[in-house]
Structure 1
Amino acid sequence: MVYGVILAGGVGSRMGNAEKPKQYLQIGEKPIIIHTVEKMYVHPEIEKVLVLCPEQWVSYTKTLLNKYRLPASEIAVLKGGSTRNGTIMNAISYIEEQGDLTEDTIIVTHDSVRPFITHRIISENVRYAQKYGACDTVIAATDTIVESHDGEIISEIPERSKMYQGQTPQSFCAVKLKNLYESLTEEEKQILTDAAKIFAIKGEKVYLVQGEVSNIKITYPYDLRVAEALIKEDRK
């Protein structure tokens, strides 16, 4: 079974909006999170969508889904965890409780604030996860990447041709991800930035899916303006 897992745990502190997390802000007359859920929901390979959000926003999210006629029977809203990977493990626990956690179960994990994900990106994530067990969506870095150990002086400038910018989705065989995560030490868990790093720490391969420049993450007020422009362009 293939689950779309939408990670909506952010509080939007960098957006400067105290009223509500950024995923609930509107672009194109709909909340960002609704655009994202719709992209997952309509994809023919996604059999069920899970939306994981802060506990205090679970009821509100369910109300939004109902307002935009997204069926509760095919979209479950769950409480997220205290970390990104904890949230993903909550999703896997739900899948296990439903009796759907098998060696063939695939999860396509995606940021709720990346509403411009394409049909192709989802399809390739599903295919790569089924074939290889793990994949990450990336685009080639166009700027030179500068590394600094102390935040003041350049420590290293990696070769740009080998650098990529990570996007989402990140997609996995759910059983393998769960087993690898549970095998980590507490020290290893402390250095995690995302789920793909779980595989990297354990020496497992994570294959690359080509992303899109338009698959932006809405983080800052400027990103909202870009998103509005993209929505208008899509409507032409």
Structure 2
Amino acid sequence: MLYAQIMAGGIGKRMGNVPLPKQFLMLGSKPIIIHTIEKFILNDQFDMILVSIPESWIDYTNEIFEKYKVKDDRIRVIAGGKERNDTIQNAINYIEKNIGLNDDDWIVAHDAVRPFITKKIIDENIKAASNFEAVDTVVPAFDTIVRGDGTEVSEIPVRDEMYQGQTPQSFKIKAFQDGFSALSDEQKAILSDTAKIILLSGKKVGMVAGELSNIKITTPYDLRIANAILLTGHTAGE
């Protein structure tokens, strides 16, 4: 089966002094998360759409879904976790408990605060799943990437080989479970990138092209940029 997971398990500390977790802040006339989930609802390839939310905000999420007429029998609002991997594992646990797991089950996991996700990006993730154990959405790195410790440069990789990761990150559930269980406790504590976890297990990870507009709204500056994108005629989620 094919599952979508909207990752909204965080509270957005970098957004500053705001009354709501960032996924619930207004972007234009609707909360950010509404823009995001509307695109996934339009895709009929998903068997279920899991929305992972801080447990204390589940009731609020259901309320705003009702307010903005987000209705789809495939939607399940569930509790996220403390860290990203916990949020993913909670979704897997939900699937296992309520439906059961199969070896060919996939999750297309997307940040709730990337509201400009396009149908093309989602479709390309799903298409690439037939050739890989996981798929990463990326855009070329236009700036030179510098590796260092904050004081001294240790490496400057070839820019043409560098990409910036976005979401969705899509993965076969079994590949994630196998890769995560093989990590040491130290690795589990520091590794939060799903594609890297699967890559470390020796499995192939595909790449699909993202878009520069597929930004992640993390700071107040990002939110201003997102509103500016709306004003130029780009509808969030199209």
Change (3 A) 1:58 1:189: same
Please report how far the alpha carbon of residue 130 of structure 1 lies from its aligned counterpart in structure 2 after TM superposition.
Answer: 3.2
C-alpha separation between the residues in 2 aligned to 1:30 and 1:104? Answer: 36
- The one-letter code sitting in structure 1 at the alignment partner of 2:37 is V
SS of the equivalent of 1:234 reads coil
Residue 177 (structure 2) pairs with residue 178 (structure 1): yes
Provide the residue aligned with 2:81 in structure 1.
81
Q: How does 1:1-236 map to 2 (within 5 A)?
A: 1-71=1-71, 73-149=73-149, 151-232=150-231, 233-234=233-234
In 2, distance between residues paired with 1:32 and 1:223?
12
* CA–CA separation in structure 2 for the residues paired with 1:55 and 1:66: 18
Q: Partners in 1 of 2:115 and 2:53 — Cα distance?
A: 16
Amino acid at match of 2:155: E
SS where residue 86 of structure 1 aligns? helix
Which secondary structure state, in structure 1, belongs to the residue aligned with residue 208 of structure 2?
Answer: strand
What stretches of structure 2 of length at least 5 have no aligned partner?
Answer: none
Distance, in Å, in 1 between the alignment partners of 2:178 and 2:198 is 10
Cα drift, residue 167 of structure 1: 0.2
Structure 1 position 100, deviation (Å):
4.2
- Cα deviation for residue 20 of structure 1 reads 1.0
**SS of residue in 2 equivalent to 1:70:** coil
Counterpart secondary structure, 1:189:
helix
Distance in 2, matches of 1:215 and 1:48, equals 23
Choose 116-125 or 94-103, whichever is displaced more. Answer: 94-103
User: Take 1:168 and 1:178, find their aligned partners in 2: how far apart are those partners?
Assistant: 19
Instruction: Quote how far apart the aligned CAs of 1:226 are.
Output: 1.5
Q: Specify the code of the residue in structure 1 equivalent to 2:191.
A: L
> Does structure 2 retain, via aligned residues, the 8 Å contact 1:145–1:160?
yes
Partner Cα distance (1:68, 1:216) in 2? 23
